Structure 1
């Protein structure tokens, strides 16, 4: 019996080739795309779930509370916090570790490179589990000159040779030490926020200078991880944190909790939920992708349901004949459901094949280790549920409605009929398909528009033709950076050169409390940037009022100012936003005024126009500039001509001065572009899957147009005999299918407007909301063009047929 049902189903699939291709193809593409998304989502939401005691493991963050700007949460915090927490919460904390990431110069004989190394406390091994390949990782924390390295680090430095016992020299800041390799461990999984290519014992003494590295409460320099004891609650630590800050943080005029806040979240939730400001979290992005996956399956399923109901009407006479010949209703129900589920099953198997072919390219594009595992029970269970659900829905109408029809009535009428409810259902489903398509198109347009707007907005400086040489305070170059700058300025292609503590999009975020009075409560947190007298000229930042720093004027240069009783008055420059935040009515009004950093007086000599030297997605930052000759960590060279030529010219100068210190560089426009990699990637993903949704919807519409044209063959023939032109018949059918597209636009536009308006709110710099109106109109026009082209193509073929053939139909 089952074999008979399957043979009958296969015959019907082969007989209705067009509809089978549309059903199977649409479902297969939709399922393939949905599973691509779901594999990526599962990977993104699996971060750091594998650690033992993950429910008790927390990563901390910090916020500065002064100032009117949004309170950004920073991923790092003070190196002083850990000891304060261990003494304050001994009943709650099982273990705690800091991770301080640095890029020391690593020297192995004559080979020199910059490598990413973490310094950590011994509790690291109590909190995180490492798979040790060679040696004893615990020995790395037994003394201050041992190093454990990852498998990749070992391969990069030593190839196939055994690295145990080898010695590497690490040099950064005041640290210049030989480290003996005592262990090799497996690389940490990709789905972890931890990045530890090499690790050594945290050395408080070696990192006593610079002072901000570990000893300053206002410096965000370490990652902090805390493992709670069984039964302990994070809420206890949250409640006690203000008192801890008041006790341990030194403040001249207020409590520590008045301008600092520190909190944490479960490390297993960190990747998905942590946000700096109000930007979209990874979890929110994954929810959008899940919604798109559901939409893709729905669009393919709707095609199937629509075509199944449309075709079912043509099979009423078949059902009537089967009943006359003795078929019972249960047999007919099983027959139709078998056929529907079989089509869905074929589509699902084809989707798996397509998934195998497309997954490597998709994983490479996302830079994620995605793979399809055939022993994955969740995947196969999801596939079975979808097959049964979609197959059951598509076969429901023919199985239960048509199988219950009266054979005598149908055979006497010699025709099939269709209920008004079925027609309305099909129109509703088509409308839903195109409403979703329009929403996706609008979303894609807005995301591309926002990305273009931010990347092309005026940052307040000229970011073209700027080469940044990073880390000029490292190794042998530290005492020669002034010479490096002077030689770079004299290069033929150089148009200027400057030393500074920060450069655009470099991730640095130094700051302090400034205000028009020495009262802490009247001060706000502002950025601090250490520059030389060529900085504004090199970046082409205009001076709004006053003057620039002058290298010929020694009084302009910053002087250390640690005597609170007899503070030295330093000269500073502000940006326009800082002058506004301090209450000055104009940049000119700030010139000559006395402002304060804590209780330390500062004389304003100039105000520069606003320039977004930080993340361009962040709000404009108030900034204070100091003139210094020895705090430049980066060299910026403005150049003309070929970028490769200036790189080689500066590299040559570098190698002459510090041949054993690696040369590291970037271009400012590239650094800024990297800020938007996630947005660009998201827009490309959305565009790709939106295109698939529109393609699947168009396939379904083409099938419906074919069914409608076939059912109206006789009508079309009569119209042609009575003088109707091909164009008239095509326009008639196009209008028939235009009505659901009109309704779809009326539904989609408000939904798209409010959804994308909410999405844009995360950006301090964003396109105007009114631009969504032309985006909606463009998406609506695209939907109409797609529908018209799809329907018109099929209608034209039917309309051109000879009327005599149409009148012989039926």
Structure 2
């Protein structure tokens, strides 16, 4: 019986070529979309699970209440002394390990080689790192790998890059150089970075005692400030983390009460499970590595569900529309003893057949599309992931569920048809099923309208962010990182050489350039007041002509100069936070909060600059104080843009004449600024892709329904044309019903679209204000797309020879 159902399904597909192909293409498009999203979503779950005891490993978090004077801070990190203190005070804490991102890049020169490479993603770690995180070691001993200062552990990829494939590496030395100096490190182990997904993605690890920063962490007794250390604790098996978290306020007060009081800080500690870091920690600032956001996955899952549902709606509409065509088949089967139940089984199996057929076609399309999907999702999916055992169940579940959803109503509708009534009252039978199809068409185009509006808003907001004046000039600016102490010390020589090039307008240097987080901050307070009146201010360092080169407007006083000591230039937000009038700012003195209570020279304001969005328009401008920097981390070149390729070649030549052992690297500032909006750009690409699929599926559906409707009204069209109906009158008559349905879908979808996208815009401090115009434009686009399809089909029908139409059976 089952094989008989399959034969009938295949014959129906061959006999109804147009409708069968439309159904198959629609289901295939929806299935490709859903499988792509399922594949990506699955890759985002399961992080950290390859580590032993991952369920008992937690990360210490920090919440700082700034009492409304400055945005509250939720940090996924904490002060240096917290980890060891937890082990000492609580028997529930078996072990702790601390991780500090070294940021930037190191120039790595392996022993016995004259080649060197810049490498990023480096961590300073405690000697207990491999006790908490049992990375698989390909070489070395996990117990001793990080015991000694200047111990270096490499990823397998980096080890092969530095020393070649198949060579023994442990014991060899590597010279690491950055802007702070050189470290001669010894390789003690090689780890396998492919063991499983994790937020810990280092290229190499250094033992904590290897650098000045690491020794600062090891010796620091800070409980209030310096919240840059990522601390992990492993709890005993039966420990309740919520109960342990309740003890943390007393723990922090026991050790850090004096420091917190001196800094006028309101600070709270928390514990966050590492198994949830990848998807549920997006609200924390300064994550250690790239993380995802479960809300983003929910959006993708919702898009996948609705796109697949639209494909199912196509199937339902087109299958029920063919009821009259299949009436004879149903009648004959019933006369021969077939029950309504058996007919229902047949139509459901037929639907599942179509769905699984679509799945089979979708899999090779999905594999071919992986390069585009990886770019779309910022992932690294491979064909093995598509065909993995973990994907088998979701693929089968999608195929069968799609078939059941698509076939349930048609099976019930077709199986319960009274064949006698269908033959006797054709028009009534046709109309009786059309009300449900109306509702489904409205739903489809409501989803299309919502996606079109989402694309319009995201695109317009991104254009607004790119066109909005950030307070500085980002175009025709080259940024050259000075990644080693030698290249930073050679700043003046480089500046002199570059300024001699014909295309160069000016050269400057800075610690942090726009598009970078300013990592340095401190609480400062006006001289004569107390630390309780202080505000957290971000600290940048720049050379004398930084503001002029960046076209940042000077409002009062002067910029920083080489002779400056404890002089600072502040922005407008600095003055607003301290309640200082712009004309009274120059000459004001400020003191900084010092954890060790050591007296420090007061800082004097010598200039005021206009606020500039150094990070992005997604966040407000924070108070910034800029000082003169003797060893800039970056060199910025303003050029005229006549021939950038020629300029870069000339600059590289000058660079290598001064820094022969340091590779020349550069980036364009406008490209770096674009990276700040990478999430929004990716969302735009996702929206474009799935909106295109949704439109395709909807148009296939309405194409099929219009074709069926016109087929049923062929004689009517011929008669009307013979009686003198014009082409425009026939087109209007035949298309009116579908256009009304699309118009209703726009009315229904408009409130949902407007509310949803307004919520998305709330995360930006500067947003577009013409969303109503975009709403109207999206409605017109949705109507236009549907009208083109409907009018094209109806025009063809109206142009047909009326004699042939009237004579048609």
TM-score, normalised to structure 2, is 0.90
Quick one: structure 1 residues 388 and 761, their matched pair in 2 at CA, closer, same or farther if it must change by over 3 Å? same
1:719-734 residue pairs with structure 2 within 5 A?
A: 719-734=720-735
Tell me what 2:596 maps to. Answer: none
The structural deviation recorded for 1:275 is 2.6
The structural deviation recorded for 1:200 is 2.8
Quick one: structure 1 residues 464 and 259, their matched pair in 2 at CA, closer, same or farther if it must change by over 3 Å? farther
User: 2:132 is matched with which residue: 127, 131, 154?
Assistant: 127
The structural deviation recorded for 1:421 is 5.1
Quick one: structure 1 residues 137 and 489, their matched pair in 2 at CA, closer, same or farther if it must change by over 3 Å? farther
Tell me what 1:493 maps to. Answer: 503
Higher mean displacement: 426-435 or 414-423: 414-423
Quick one: structure 1 residues 80 and 497, their matched pair in 2 at CA, closer, same or farther if it must change by over 3 Å? farther
1:371-390 residue pairs with structure 2 within 5 A?
A: 371=383, 373=385, 376=388, 379-390=391-402
1:528-677 residue pairs with structure 2 within 5 A?
A: 528-551=539-562, 554=563, 557-558=564-565, 570-584=566-580, 586-598=581-593, 601-628=602-629, 630-641=630-641, 642-677=643-678
Quick one: structure 1 residues 418 and 754, their matched pair in 2 at CA, closer, same or farther if it must change by over 3 Å? same
User: 1:513 is matched with which residue: 523, 543, 548?
Assistant: 523
- 2:617·2:765 contact (CA, 8 Å) conserved in 1? no
The answer on 1:358 being equivalent to 2:363 is: no
- 1:545·1:588 contact (CA, 8 Å) conserved in 2? yes
Distance in 1 between the 2:779 and 2:560 partners?
A: 56
SS in 1 for 2:472: coil
Distance in 2 between the 1:499 and 1:407 partners?
A: 85
Tell me what 2:302 maps to. Answer: 291
- 2:508·2:545 contact (CA, 8 Å) conserved in 1? yes
The structural deviation recorded for 1:448 is 1.4
Distance in 1 between the 2:416 and 2:616 partners?
A: 66
SS in 1 for 2:233: strand
- 1:214·1:221 contact (CA, 8 Å) conserved in 2? no
Distance in 1 between the 2:83 and 2:706 partners?
A: 69
The structural deviation recorded for 1:7 is 3.0
Higher mean displacement: 601-610 or 56-65: 56-65
Tell me what 2:794 maps to. Answer: 795
1:140-219 residue pairs with structure 2 within 5 A?
A: 140-160=145-165, 161-172=167-178, 176-188=182-194, 191-203=197-209, 206-207=212-213, 218-219=225-226
Distance in 2 between the 1:627 and 1:669 partners?
A: 25
Quick one: structure 1 residues 615 and 58, their matched pair in 2 at CA, closer, same or farther if it must change by over 3 Å? farther
- 1:48·1:193 contact (CA, 8 Å) conserved in 2? yes
Q: Could you list the runs of 5+ residues in structure 1 that have no partner in the other structure?
A: 559-569
The structural deviation recorded for 1:107 is 2.5
- 1:341·1:387 contact (CA, 8 Å) conserved in 2? yes
- 2:718·2:806 contact (CA, 8 Å) conserved in 1? yes
Distance in 2 between the 1:127 and 1:291 partners?
A: 37
Distance in 2 between the 1:320 and 1:452 partners?
A: 60
SS in 1 for 2:602: strand
- 2:590·2:604 contact (CA, 8 Å) conserved in 1? yes
The structural deviation recorded for 1:42 is 1.2
RMSD of aligned residue pairs (Cα, Å): 3.0
The answer on 1:111 being equivalent to 2:111 is: no
Tell me what 1:477 maps to. Answer: 487
The structural deviation recorded for 1:184 is 2.1
- 2:618·2:766 contact (CA, 8 Å) conserved in 1? yes
- 2:208·2:214 contact (CA, 8 Å) conserved in 1? no
Higher mean displacement: 570-579 or 26-35: 570-579
The structural deviation recorded for 1:739 is 1.3
Distance in 1 between the 2:489 and 2:582 partners?
A: 37
Q: 1:295-331, CA deviations, whole angstroms, 9 ceiling, x for partnerless residues?
A: 1110000000011111113322443344345544444
Q: 1:468-493, CA deviations, whole angstroms, 9 ceiling, x for partnerless residues?
A: 22235x33335443444444444443
- 2:316·2:410 contact (CA, 8 Å) conserved in 1? no
- 1:303·1:697 contact (CA, 8 Å) conserved in 2? yes
Quick one: structure 1 residues 427 and 493, their matched pair in 2 at CA, closer, same or farther if it must change by over 3 Å? same
Tell me what 1:222 maps to. Answer: 229
Distance in 1 between the 2:751 and 2:285 partners?
A: 24
Quick one: structure 1 residues 317 and 681, their matched pair in 2 at CA, closer, same or farther if it must change by over 3 Å? same
The structural deviation recorded for 1:250 is 8.6
Runs of 4+ with deviation above 6 angstroms: 208-216, 250-253, 277-281
TM-score, normalised to structure 1, is 0.90
The structural deviation recorded for 1:83 is 3.0
Higher mean displacement: 784-793 or 645-654: 645-654
Tell me what 1:443 maps to. Answer: 454
